[in-house]
């Protein structure tokens, strides 16, 4: 079984969504699947594909230090973190409410090797080169200062470390782009400017030594080596 299939297997035991947000992120509820189809023009298999690609670069036997920013409710990461019992995991989020939900999920799933920190991705409270892996799932499209986020995630990553994750990029699905601009941006959920797949590839190639970028509709996945 390859790493992507292992990640998908971990998601089979995701459990019940705790909120509308969880259902929307995972496509595990009727309303969540309707939103995913309406906004992103994806089905549950598409969601599983981009999520698995986001984690694919993390080794199954990983024992180093990993930072996830932002952790959100932990609905995407905790099923995978449960398979990494020897890793030293730090989860950061700006929102105390989101982090509280993630902490509860970690307790419910008996994951004890995680530290939760409230903070800003634009000014991470960690020393240079603190982490072997930095994971960012669906965060960069919401960060108000994206350049600071790119610089900070790069700064706290060790040389030879892995930067991976996913987020929305414009230009791959015009239907989704219109929806994001007319609703998500106006409500303050997403913050422009947004990358395209090609602009992101160019940016990451200017920072990292090895870069893999892929997309499923409007969600781009990335795997980078510093």
Over residues 157-167, the mean pLDDT reads: 98
The answer to which of 3-17, 88-102, 170-184 has the lowest mean pLDDT is: 3-17
pLDDT at position 35:
78
CA gap 106, 156 in Å, rounded: 24
Residue 145 has pLDDT above 80, yes or no: yes
pLDDT at position 15:
44
CA gap 213, 65 in Å, rounded: 23
Give DSSP secondary structure letters for 22-55. Answer: HHHHHT-SHHHHHHIIIII---HHHHHHHHHHHH
| Structural domain count, the chain | 1
CATH code for the domain of 141: 3.40.50.150
Domain that holds residue 90: 60-225
CA gap 111, 61 in Å, rounded: 16
Residue 167 domain flag: yes
Residue 47 domain flag: no
Residue 168 domain flag: yes
Digit-coded pLDDT (tens) for 12-40 = 554 444 555 555 566 666 677 787 888 89
Residue 55 has pLDDT above 90, yes or no: yes
Beta-bridged to residue 93, according to DSSP, are 118
Residue 10 domain flag: no
What pTM was estimated for this model as a whole?
Answer: 0.91
Q: What is the mean pLDDT of the chain?
A: 90
Residue 76 domain flag: yes
Residue 202 has pLDDT above 70, yes or no: yes
Residue 101 domain flag: yes
């Amino acid at each position: 079984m390859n790493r992507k299939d292992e990640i998908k297997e971990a998601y089979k035991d995701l459990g019940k969504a705790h909120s509308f947000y969880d259902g929307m992120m995972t496509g595990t509820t009727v309303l969540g699947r309707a939103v995913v189809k309406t906004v992103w023009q994806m089905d549950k298999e598409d969601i599983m594909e981009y999520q698995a690609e986001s984690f694919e670069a993390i080794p199954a036997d990983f024992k180093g230090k990993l930072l996830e920013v932002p952790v959100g409710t932990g609905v995407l990461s905790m099923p995978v973190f449960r398979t990494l019992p020897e890793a030293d995991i730090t989860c950061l989020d700006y929102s105390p409410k989101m982090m509280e939900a993630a902490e509860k999920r970690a307790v419910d799933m008996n994951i004890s090797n995680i530290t939760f920190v409230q903070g800003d991705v634009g000014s991470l409270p960690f020393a240079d080169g603190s982490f072997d892996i930095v994971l960012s799932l669906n965060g960069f499209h919401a960060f108000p200062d994206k350049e600071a986020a790119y610089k900070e995630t790069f700064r706290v990553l060790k040389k030879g470390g892995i930067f991976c994750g996913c987020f929305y990029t414009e230009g791959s699905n015009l239907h989704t782009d219109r929806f994001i601009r007319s609703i998500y941006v106006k409500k303050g959920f997403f913050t422009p400017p947004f990358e395209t797949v090609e602009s992101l590839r160019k940016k990451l190639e200017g920072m990292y030594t090895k870069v893999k970028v892929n997309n499923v509709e409007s969600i781009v996945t990335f795997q980078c080596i510093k």
